[in-house]
Structure 1
Amino acid sequence: MPERATDGASAAISPVQQMLASGTGALLTSVFVTPLDVVKIRLQAQQSPLHQGKCFLYCNGLMDHIYICQNRSSCTSWYKQQTHFSGTLDAFVKIYRHEGLRSLWSGLPPTLVMAVPATIIYFTCYDQLRDFLRFTMGFQGNHIPLVAGGIARLGAVTVISPLELIRTKMQSRQLTYGELCICIRSAVAQGGLLSLWRGWGPTVLRDVPFSAIYWFNYELVKAQLCRQSQITQANFAISFTAGAASGAIAAILTLPFDVVKTRRQIQLGEMDTLGTPLKKTASTWRIMCDIWNEVGYRGLFAGFMPRVIKVAPACAIMISTYEFGKAFFQKVNHDREPVAS
């Protein structure tokens, strides 16, 4: 029963060890992928400098976050250099030469603040749910990763959404913690407690299908590669390959929802920056129709290559590091077990 051995590897480690493995994976993924995001933003800003003078959207393949500019002259430190880039490689070289190596990791701290806790919740819940459905409830079939992945992502998005809102407000203008509390209380007084989950809907529509598709394909590809290699547990190379392929597929299929999410994040961010009173935002379907009417179906797949180029390696690094961490803790636990006489 090689599939059970592969899928059940996490059963030998504790939830705390799963959290350590996923947290390490999120840290490494953010460190490796953030430079790609910085270069993408610089290239986009070059084509349309300071889009409406307000927002930049970072994404490291795991989490999105907005940096909201107060004005054109005091955006981010890394944007002050108006260097022209002819392409991705040219951007890497010129940013390094003219602005220093640290500029390639602009925006890393807020990425880590959101990505690490969200990823810990997400990956730990997925493993626990998958094992519960298969080994406790006795369910079988390829749909188990799909269900567990969707539910785990739903839970992670729900928990993180208020933190995302708080972080966005702190980025929008300089606020002390006291002012932030007043701002949050005011938002709750105006829109109720559910206002802390503003933007939850489009995030769920993008992230839950992505997660379900990703884990469904990942488990299938991983099992197939394990059978071809005649091993019962995936090694680093197999996890990396399966993660990259599954991430690319999920990124392509959910791209329209990502476009809608990006547009809504920027709109909400600009309202916060301008001090505009909160108003009812357009539905996801309405935004999709607007994009279709403006630029056609291609508008729903804008940013196809940048998204795939970032998401595929991010997923590959994250899952391979996570699987390696679980295998490490499994070996540690095995070595600690008393030898049977």
Structure 2
Amino acid sequence: MIEMKTNVIETGKIPDASEYITERSILLQVAESTYRFFLGSIAGAAGATVVYPIDLVKTRMQNQRTGLSKAGELMYKNSFDCARKVITREGVFGLYRGLAPQLVGVCPEKAIKLTVNDFVRDRLTSTSGRITLQSEIFAGCCAGASQVMFTNPLEIVKIRLQTAGEVPNSTKLSAGTVIRELGFKNLYKGASACFLRDIPFSGIYFPVYANCKLYFAPDGHNSPGTLLLSACIAGVPAAYLVTPADVIKTRLQVAARQGQTTYSGLFDAARKIMAEEGFSAFWKGGLARVFRSAPQFGFTLLTYEVLQRFFFIDFSGRS
């Protein structure tokens, strides 16, 4: 029987479920996953909206070509210069180009990632509540792989919209126009780089987040502040270390302008970027990724866990 726990709101702490875990029906397990999916959707939308301007700056910095392949003069000196020029030329709302399709996709994307991570962790956690680091990493990697089917089409549409404003007097693009031009097959262009980025990201992020929560809560209780801090700390190594894969993905998915190098695939892109722009090019936008991903997942995980506290439902599983 599903029972509401009103005392969770007062204490901010979900009771230990190890004492009453029983063999649950498939229906109850599905209900729990659906509940997590719904809360994850809300949390994902909140996190994406907060940091979207940083994401746009990150994309434009990564798409800026240098070295032998540059077309025209260098448009942005750094991330701050990029943000200033976007506001000057396109207005404040220029920082939110492509937000609508981002929100449409980010809800199922983040919901699936959070649900799968929780689901796999539950299955790999012993009855005493212990889980090994290897199991935590595996659960995170499963979560990262599961989201790519939603992430890739979302990313390519978002990137095309984010970089459209760089071309003066260009026709204003819409998400529908981009989708029609690409076609269904090309919506998954760069999927290999997306896997290369998202699997290790989640494999790093979720274990670091879980262990930071334990570190900051020796009494078993995390305040909203320690939840946000844990999520932001986890986002720093996870976001920065996968920047090379994100750069390659951006180059594969963006619409190359006249004079810019084009790429036929992941390895071709890596080879050409290295030859034309050097090793440092793989780390373009790395700082922007950290400033985007750390707070985004911070607000996402904070929202997700706070929602679970305020709308806690006992599915007779593991808390």
Correspondence for 2:242: 254
Correspondence for 1:14: 32
- Aligned AA for 2:143? A
Alignment of 1:157 with 2:145, yes or no, is no
Would the aligned equivalents of 1:21 and 1:325 in 2 still touch at CA under 8 Å? Answer: yes
Q: For residue 287 of structure 1, report the CA deviation from its aligned partner.
A: 2.7
Separation in 1, partners of 2:274, 2:60:
27
Alignment of 1:263 with 2:233, yes or no, is no
Alignment of 1:322 with 2:304, yes or no, is yes
Correspondence for 1:282: 265
Q: For residue 163 of structure 1, report the CA deviation from its aligned partner.
A: 6.5
| Percentage identity across paired residues of the two chains | 26
Q: For residue 292 of structure 1, report the CA deviation from its aligned partner.
A: 2.4
Q: Deviations along 1:43-76, whole A, 9 cap, x unmatched?
A: 889999xx969xxxxxxxxxxxxxxxxxxxxxxx
Over 3 Å counting, the alpha-carbon distance change for 1:253 and 1:240 in structure 2 is: same
| Secondary structure of the corresponding residue to residue 233 of structure 1 | coil
Q: Deviations along 1:278-297, whole A, 9 cap, x unmatched?
A: x992333x432332222332
Q: For residue 15 of structure 1, report the CA deviation from its aligned partner.
A: 2.0
Separation in 1, partners of 2:180, 2:86:
38
Alignment of 1:36 with 2:19, yes or no, is no
Would the aligned equivalents of 1:215 and 1:246 in 2 still touch at CA under 8 Å? Answer: yes
Alignment of 1:121 with 2:112, yes or no, is yes
Over 3 Å counting, the alpha-carbon distance change for 1:315 and 1:296 in structure 2 is: same
- Aligned AA for 2:236? A
| Secondary structure of the corresponding residue to residue 221 of structure 2 | coil
Q: For residue 36 of structure 1, report the CA deviation from its aligned partner.
A: 2.7
Correspondence for 1:276: none
Over 3 Å counting, the alpha-carbon distance change for 1:110 and 1:128 in structure 2 is: same
Q: Deviations along 1:152-182, whole A, 9 cap, x unmatched?
A: 22112135546667888999977989x9599
2:80 to 84, 88, 99: 88
Separation in 2, partners of 1:99, 1:163:
22
Alignment of 1:26 with 2:44, yes or no, is yes
Q: For residue 323 of structure 1, report the CA deviation from its aligned partner.
A: 1.3
| Secondary structure of the corresponding residue to residue 14 of structure 1 | helix
Separation in 2, partners of 1:86, 1:282:
27
Separation in 2, partners of 1:94, 1:290:
28
Which structure carries more helix by proportion? 1
Would the aligned equivalents of 1:17 and 1:326 in 2 still touch at CA under 8 Å? Answer: no
1:292 to 274, 283, 289: 274
Alignment of 1:205 with 2:187, yes or no, is no
Over 3 Å counting, the alpha-carbon distance change for 1:133 and 1:316 in structure 2 is: same
Q: Deviations along 1:178-233, whole A, 9 cap, x unmatched?
A: x959954xx5xxxxxxx764422111011100110111211121111112xxx213
Separation in 2, partners of 1:249, 1:308:
8
Over 3 Å counting, the alpha-carbon distance change for 1:329 and 1:135 in structure 2 is: farther
- Aligned AA for 1:88? F
In the comparison of the two structures, how many residue pairs are matched? 275
**Structure possessing the higher relative contact order (Cα contacts under 8 Å, 6 or more residues apart):** 2
Would the aligned equivalents of 1:5 and 1:233 in 2 still touch at CA under 8 Å? Answer: no
Correspondence for 1:112: 103
Would the aligned equivalents of 2:58 and 2:289 in 1 still touch at CA under 8 Å? Answer: no
Would the aligned equivalents of 2:194 and 2:249 in 1 still touch at CA under 8 Å? Answer: yes
Separation in 1, partners of 2:90, 2:158:
27
